[in-house]
Structure 1
Amino acid sequence: MAISESLQKMPLAGKLCCWLAGMQALTIIGLEISILVIVLHNVDNVFSSWSSDKGAAIYFMLLIIGALYGVFLMVSGAMSGDTIQIIGFCLLNLFMMSLAIFRYFQMRSWLLDSVVYAEDILAMVRPQMLATIGVMAGMTVVFVGLAYFVYHAFGWEIYKRVGADMKIRRMYINYRMLVLLLKIDFFMFVGFAVSYIILILKSTDPEFGITVAFVPVTLLVLFLAFWALRRESAATMWVFVFLLCGSTAYFVFKCARMYDPKQRDKFASQIPMMTYYTIISLVVIAATLYQAIVCLANFGYGLKERVEITRGKRSDMEQIKDYYINAAGDRRMNLDG
């Protein structure tokens, strides 16, 4: 019921963003399936060796997961009136476009170096690879333009949620930014783990089980951060900050492993892309770490109570008597005081 009401109240720009995000995802999925089918049909023993032959599968997984996750970001952002999340979707789109560019040059190099009739196969997949890049680039420009209209459409909603107090508004923006970063963290961590699983692929490798376990552990840690942020639990947030520092060490270790001469054959031509992915992941982790500390410093200054009262929930710790929400959702001063 709440979902249908949110869709009905969503402004035209928000609905258009959702429809276009869905259309982009379907287009990208169709293009990626086409590329993978052509490669599998025309290249023998695609998965018989290490990563030089697995690049098609890695990019296929990352781009499809990214397209679907982008729809989730866009729809949830538009339904909640969160312009920051829509901007985050645009940044994710740019990142996925950069992966598509990496894929074009690395697959081109792999086909020309390792495959018979490479020019013929390349001619069949080149249009789809370039179309993927073009769709993402063009749609990102469109989404940035629509985000401007969504921002103006939801400006009053944000005002009703947190009021005119600039300190509270800044804290609310930091709160929403951390929520966005946590969602992007999940995508980056899962994408990294999936890439490693495809590259390793041998269950006898000691790192295989660790990498598989990394996904549910990541989900648990991020859920912990969401809970700490909503509840303003300083102790739990500090645990998250500590674990986030541990994930930084994990990413650095994995990146160093790629350049270990004993492990290099597992990654082969995928080292540039995996290094790039690791660097972007570390940047996102650093931003999340900074934003978590900023939000941690904002605990106890009234943001939780202000957000809860606009949702019709009273705080468990204290009752707010200064404001109430009337049936229309407008915030007014209580004159009974």
Structure 2
Amino acid sequence: MAISESLQKMPLAGKVCCCFAALQALAVIGLETSILVIVLQKMENVFASWSSDKGVAIYFLLLVIASLFGLFLMVGGVMNGDTIQIIGFCLFNLFAMTLAIFRFYQVRTWIQADIFVGYEVYPMVKDIMVASIGVMAGMTAVFGILAYLLYIAFGWEIYKRVGADLKIRRMYVNYRTLVFLLKIDFFVFLGFAVSYIILVLKSSDPEFGITVAFVPVTLSVLFLAFWGLRRESVATMWTFIFLLCGSTAYFVYKCARMYDPKQEAKFLTQRPMMTYYTVISLVVISATLHQAVSCLANFGYGLKERIEITRGKRSDMEQIQDYYVNAAGDRRMNLEG
């Protein structure tokens, strides 16, 4: 019932966004599947060694998951009237497109290295890879226009949720931005760990076990951060900030290892892609750290109570300073302050 009501109230631009996001996901998955099938059929040594031979399969996996994850972001943003997540989806779509561009050059280098088979395979997948990039580039431009329309359409919704108090509204923007960044952290951390494990490490490497353990630990930390943010737990948020600083050191260390002459043989043709992914991870971590500190500074100033009111978890509106009861007994918002 709630879903059907949300669909009825959804603006036309929101419905178009969801449809386009679904179409983009289907198109990208179809194109990427075609690339993977051609490579597997024509090149027999794709999984013959624990090395960059698995590059096409990993890039296929990353782009497919990125398309599905982007669909999740767009649908969730539209259903919840979350303009920050919708705008964030546009940036994420741009990031996915850059992954496809990197994949184009990486796969070209890898396939053409096979003198006997590469020149036969590359022309077959070149146009498909270009088409995948083109789909994401064109849709990113379309989503940018639709996001602006949704920003206008959902502006009143945000006003109704948090009221006219500019301080509360700024705190709410910080809150929603951190929630979105935690979702992006999930994709970035998981994508980096899986790529590093499969493309770079061997099961005998000392780093292998540490990197595998990094995945569940990271997911647990992200859930912990979301829990602490919702409940305004100072101790939990400080713990998250401390662990986030540790993650920054971890990614800097990984990036330095890629350019260690003693480790050069491990990375082969994967260094440009892994470096780019590491830099993006550090940018996302820095943004998350900044927002986490900002949200921590906002604890105790009424945002938690305001959000609980909008979700129907509190009925004591008259106890919130920004509301008062008029002579007719109706609750009204205090616009002062």
TM-score by length of 1: 0.92
Q: Report the more deviating stretch, 8-17 or 114-123.
A: 114-123
Measured at CA, do residues 331 and 224 of structure 1 come closer, stay the same or move farther in structure 2, by a change above 3 Å? farther
Q: Which amino acid aligns with 2:231?
A: R
Residue number in structure 2 paired with 1:219: 219
Q: C-alpha offsets along residues 228-248 of structure 1, whole Å, 9 cap, x if unaligned?
A: 111111111010000000111
| 1:33-112 to 2 correspondences below 5 Å | 33-112=33-112
Displacement after TM superposition at 1:269 (Å): 0.3
Displacement after TM superposition at 1:314 (Å): 2.0
Q: CA RMSD in A?
A: 2.1
Which structure 2 segments of 5+ residues have no match? none
- Give the secondary-structure state (helix, strand or coil) at the position aligned to 1:49: coil
8 Å Cα contact 1:200-1:208 kept in structure 2:
no
**1:320 aligns to 2:306 (yes or no):** no
8 Å Cα contact 1:111-1:122 kept in structure 2:
yes
| 1:269-284 to 2 correspondences below 5 Å | 269-284=269-284
Q: Report the more deviating stretch, 286-295 or 6-15.
A: 6-15
| 1:11-50 to 2 correspondences below 5 Å | 11-50=11-50
Alpha-carbon distance between aligned partners in 1 of 2:101 and 2:306, rounded to the nearest angstrom:
44
8 Å Cα contact 1:314-1:320 kept in structure 2:
no
Q: C-alpha offsets along residues 55-114 of structure 1, whole Å, 9 cap, x if unaligned?
A: 112211111111111111111111110111011111111111111111111111222222
Residue number in structure 1 paired with 2:251: 251
Displacement after TM superposition at 1:324 (Å): 8.3
Alpha-carbon distance between aligned partners in 2 of 1:315 and 1:113, rounded to the nearest angstrom:
67
Residue number in structure 2 paired with 1:235: 235
Q: Which amino acid aligns with 2:220?
A: L
Q: Report the more deviating stretch, 57-66 or 183-192.
A: 57-66
Displacement over 4 Å in runs of 4+: none
Alpha-carbon distance between aligned partners in 2 of 1:172 and 1:190, rounded to the nearest angstrom:
28
8 Å Cα contact 1:43-1:115 kept in structure 2:
no
Displacement after TM superposition at 1:294 (Å): 0.8
Q: Which amino acid aligns with 1:21?
A: A
Alpha-carbon distance between aligned partners in 2 of 1:201 and 1:40, rounded to the nearest angstrom:
22
| 1:138-149 to 2 correspondences below 5 Å | 138-149=138-149
Alpha-carbon distance between aligned partners in 1 of 2:331 and 2:83, rounded to the nearest angstrom:
21
8 Å Cα contact 1:308-1:315 kept in structure 2:
no
**1:267 aligns to 2:267 (yes or no):** yes
- Give the secondary-structure state (helix, strand or coil) at the position aligned to 1:54: helix
- Give the secondary-structure state (helix, strand or coil) at the position aligned to 2:332: strand
Displacement after TM superposition at 1:26 (Å): 1.0
Residue number in structure 2 paired with 1:133: 133
- Give the secondary-structure state (helix, strand or coil) at the position aligned to 1:37: helix
Measured at CA, do residues 111 and 289 of structure 1 come closer, stay the same or move farther in structure 2, by a change above 3 Å? same
| 1:153-302 to 2 correspondences below 5 Å | 153-200=153-200, 202-302=202-302
- Give the secondary-structure state (helix, strand or coil) at the position aligned to 1:114: coil
Displacement after TM superposition at 1:331 (Å): 7.0
Displacement after TM superposition at 1:264 (Å): 2.3
8 Å Cα contact 1:90-1:143 kept in structure 2:
yes
Alpha-carbon distance between aligned partners in 1 of 2:39 and 2:203, rounded to the nearest angstrom:
25
- Give the secondary-structure state (helix, strand or coil) at the position aligned to 1:285: helix
8 Å Cα contact 2:241-2:289 kept in structure 1:
yes
Identity %: 75
Displacement after TM superposition at 1:12 (Å): 1.2
Alpha-carbon distance between aligned partners in 1 of 2:333 and 2:255, rounded to the nearest angstrom:
55
Which structure 1 segments of 5+ residues have no match? none
8 Å Cα contact 2:50-2:198 kept in structure 1:
no
- Give the secondary-structure state (helix, strand or coil) at the position aligned to 1:256: helix
8 Å Cα contact 2:201-2:266 kept in structure 1:
no
Q: Which amino acid aligns with 2:225?
A: A
Q: Report the more deviating stretch, 203-212 or 176-185.
A: 203-212
